Chains A and B, each alone.
Chain A
Amino acid sequence: MADLVKFTINGREIEAPAGMLAIEAAKQNGIEIPSFCYYEGYSLQAACRMCLVEVEKMPKMQVACTLPVAAGMVIRTETDQVKLARKSTLEFLLTNHPLDCPVCDKGGECELQDMVFKYGAGESRYVEAKIHVDEQQWSPVVFYDGPRCILCFRCVRACDEGMGVGALGVVNRGAMSLIAPNKGDHLECDECGQCIDICPVGALTSGPYRYLTRPWEMDHIGTICTHCSDGCKTTLGVRNDEIVRGNNRDRSGVNGEFLCVKGRYAFDFNKHAERLQSPMMRVNGKLEEVSWSKALETIANKFGEIRSRGGKFGVIGSNHTTNEENYYLQKFARQGLGTNSIDHHRTGDVVTLVDALSGTTGRLANSADFYERKAVLVIGSDFSVEHPFLAFQARANFRHHEAHIYTVTAEPVREDNYAARSVRVAKGEELGALEGLREALAAEPDLVIVFDDSIKGDKVRSVVEFGQSLGIPVSYCALVDYSNSRGAIDMGLAPEIGPGYHATGQPGMSMNDMLAAADLAALWVVGANPLENAKLAASKAFVVVQDLFLTETAQRADVVLPAASAYEKNGTVTNGRGEVQRLKRASATMGAKTDLEIIGLIAKEMGLAPMMGPWLPETVYAEIRKTVKGYDIPLPLVTIGAQQSTPVNGRVGVESRPDLVRSEHNNLFESGTLGRYSQVLNTVIEGRQSR
């Protein structure tokens, strides 16, 4: 931290670190210096000239965005000269701006509107013709309206510096200057839409959102993206119970304003035409729509009958459903159905990592660590593609703190572009490359080691041993695939482990065992698609599936129950770093019920309701707080969403099953079964090419 210096702004004495930019120092002290091109975290431009201020002893006005404060400096931000400069800059800006605010998507939340309202002139002196160029579509999600563009170059920097993609640039000169996409007439990039969100005006607009609504007609619901395990907060714009937009302009949540294409656009599966809206039952070999009461009654009768004759149950939970639903499901399975055969698709070896770190605290990396630690070692993962938020954090860490990034991967990855060291190894040989990095890593002040499913079982223990032998503080992260993969294992969706990593000590079938067991009597699948690439051996088994769509598994079911999506329910989910965050209901779909409610209704039908307790997310969460280690977090803190859960302090005490761990390695445009139903993910050119 630099020494504090004293200086004045508008006569007020202010203290700030020497060298801090005047615009930042002013902001921190509640003094607004307007600007367009200055954007915290990205390179300085000094291009918009809105932040001109008077500085005593300097002949000309200075731009506050490149002015380091110094002791004794006298800054004035509200003199006549400054006000006139702002007014005239805005007058210049509006000369070629089309002022089509009534039909502009940005109208109502436009920085140019706000600036002109506060600092601009009340009248226009411009009577010449405006420059016009036609609007361009760069991709299904990005449109560019050149005349509206004020050339602040935020989009260029967000794409280049923030995303490491660099798909945007500037063409032409002077007033004819335009932002241009990397492929001449279209974009090929991450399609993340950061450029659209960062645009202060309506120059860059979002394909799916265009002309759908006025911003003030929406409700804004902050919830958690349901796609990958990075667990980004996404603020959904909801109009008439329909989600029309995703962004995170309030910079809340662990991710700040970062969102990838999935977080920003892939909520659209929600209104896909094939969403299930009614329960279905197999009648004469065909699935037919039935009433909820009929479906529930059938399930309850069948489950009751199988339980009483001691038939084999198999229960498969989800990587997408909430902690409450997972907890409730395993409780039902274990206490209601009397089976320990409950599992889910495991995508990363969290169990072994937790065990290997037993006896220590604070060794599991959180989101902030990726931005704050001085070094990050990425093993196996194509980080930018599979974990775009964590990669964004690491990139920002490199940019702002000159952090050293190390990669050990089989294929070239984007991180190579700025990595301190990139090691290429054959797949499966990742562990062997670590020794070669020992000297460099041991010289770092601290380190995050992050690995995908190429490191599992004993290899996890080896990585932890390696990390602990470096003699520096190291935190770890086992990458997992989906929005609540971590929560699923925390809640005990595994035969060998109960909630909070307690060994159950009871026999039970794993997912693979269930599918292979010829004598399985009933298979209950909640929000998963195990039959996508597998066969169910038990041809006579009674199969119940809760899902949004008629997946391969649902097509095999005897009863299918339409489930609500993550955007249609309340609850909590736990991201890949163990940060528990809160889902908030944004919209409703006719006919579907939340998995929690469905499980509750089945329990009620079976007369198990008193044992299960109410199917209210808050009530179930209260029980989780009491029974699951690391989850004793009050809900208001979960809403802020940055609370680290520390699962265990002792050994897990059970053989983990690395053989069951298998990541799907979904890229930016895939999201398991769910991804198939997102129109955006299926229409962007990169999504089509990657299939």
Chain B
Amino acid sequence: MRYNDPSPLETPVLTRRFRLPNSQSIDTYLASDGYKGFERAIGMTQDEIIGEVKTSILRGRGGAGFPTGMKWGFVPRTSPKPKYIVVNADESEPGTCKDRLLMEFDPHQLIEGVLIAGLAVGAQQGYIYIRGEFRYLIGVMDKAIDEAYAKGYLGDNILGRGVKFNLATHSGAGAYECGEESALLESLEGKRGNPRIRPPFPAVAGAYQCPTILNNVETFCAVPSIILNGGKWFADLGSPKNGGTRLFCLSGHVNKPGVYELPMGFNLMRMINEVGGGIRGGKKLKAVVPGGSSCPILKADECDLAMDYDTVAAAKSMLGSGGVVVLDEDTCMVKFALRIMRFYAHESCGWCIPCREGTTWLKKLLTRFHEGQGQRSDIVMIGDLSKNMLGRTFCPLGDAAAMPTIAIVEKFRDEFEAHLDGKPCPYEHINAFSKSGLAA
């Protein structure tokens, strides 16, 4: 059971159990190679496990795309301090909705990934930091954790093999900022979710100032298959330097929105047209946000590209967290910029000045502009203010607000000019018309 119909173009690895009946239960999981990767990992050395993950070219699925094996290698294994595994399940990036499915339909895959990470660095305690709005998932994860304890896959002597690992869920309280790893750790420790000064990075001083592995849900979920089938097998599923498959969250003006597991490097236009069934209502494509709201937007003519970290970066955007938002020709880009900025102004934690004040200023400015009260100089100022945030904020949230805005102003300046001189938004009319059902 899942929310959207699968596409024949998918390569189900992480999602392969989604359609099994009762996919959340440990029995289903065990009947389909569940915990086999973990059992195999028990027999491996720490270096072997990390080596396998390095071979897989698994890159962090949270957005930055940092090689996971390398990150795990940074944990000082001789440190006398306890080590922690923390799952970033604070999925809040607009356009991204994959981690919730991974937890809802295959919670044990996540637990197994965490267990293997624990073996890789010698951690005995893990936390799953779940976005506060995902209340129902806390129950799902807790149930799965209880099952794992009951079957001996968690506890002080796992499977009688002398392995100790305990795992608990922790609820976020509704802040996007807590998806940033250091803010997440602050929140996990019970403090206000402000980001921390880095370095030190979590691998050295994370939860409770102890060495910590912190990865995205999807990243951990890929690990059992990697250990079971080998790093090379996983790497070969994707494109060079971009191992494996990835869950793309296709949303916006497509006929078949949904979460699709596709190989790394899958062509974006094919994704829209073949996986997503093309643009809704036969409209033309205007633009695509390739990886969640913080990624610079791609114009329609820039969208014929392979969806892997490096190719999208070369197109001056980011693969990000896999949230592909498709916009058709009737979308007002000023309003779109405003919508994004409203989100970031609302979610800015308030720690640093450029992000706190910049996002709020831009929100107000874009609101006024969209209402037709803008001046020509405002167009320059929108870009200017964004650039004054870019690279100067404490954490990447400021960049996340600045980057898409800069791109939108650069690529769709004509639409901004169309809002000048007190003119009403040229798209409001079309949208009002279509919403009323008269368009047909």
Contacts and interface: CB of A to CB of B under 8 A. Distances in A.
Given A52-B392, A128-B364, A129-B364, A92 B349 contact: no
B200 to A, nearest CB: 11
A43 to B, nearest CB: 9
B100 to A, nearest CB: 23
Interface in A633-670: none
Most buried by B among A88, A89, A92, A172: A92
Interface stretch (A173-181, A320-328, A430-438, A581-589): A173-181
Nearest to B349: A173
Interface residues of B, number: 30
A174 B354 contact: no
Given A48-B353, A49-B352, A174 B394 contact: no
A118 interface: no
Interface in A92-115: 92-93, 95-96
B25 interface: no
Interface in B336-384: 345-354, 356-361, 364-365, 368, 381
B361 A95 contact: yes
Given A88-B388, A151-B356, A46 B394 contact: yes
Given A93-B353, A151-B350, A47 B361 contact: no
A137 interface: no
B197 interface: yes
Contacts of A46: 197, 352, 394
A88 B384 CA distance: 10
B361 A92 contact: yes
A77 to B, nearest CB: 15
Interface in A74-96: 84-85, 88-89, 91-93, 95-96
Interface residues of A, number: 35
**Interface SS of B by simple majority:** helix
Contact of B354 (A44, A49, A170, A172): A49
Interface in B126-173: none
Contact of A66 (B197, B357, B358): B197
A49 B390 CA distance: 12
A49 B349 contact: no
Given A48-B353, A174-B348, A126 B361 contact: yes
Contacts of A60: 391-392
B97 to A, nearest CB: 23
A151 B359 CA distance: 16
Contacts of B359: 174-175
B192 A170 contact: yes
A61 B394 CA distance: 11
B11 interface: no
A92 B346 CA distance: 16
A254 to B, nearest CB: 32
Nearest to B177: A173
Contacts of B350: 151, 170, 172-177
B267 interface: no
A150 B353 contact: yes
Interface in A23-64: 44-50, 52, 60-61
Interface string B56-73: 000000000000000000
B354 A89 contact: yes
A49 B392 contact: yes
A174 B347 contact: yes
Contacts of A151: 350-351, 353, 356
B393 interface: yes
Most buried by A among B177, B349, B368, B388: B388
Given A92-B388, A128-B365, 15 more contacts: A44-B197, A46-B352, A47-B353, A48-B353, A49-B353, A88-B354, A88-B392, A89-B354, A125-B381, A126-B361, A131-B360, A151-B353, A151-B356, A175-B360, A176-B350
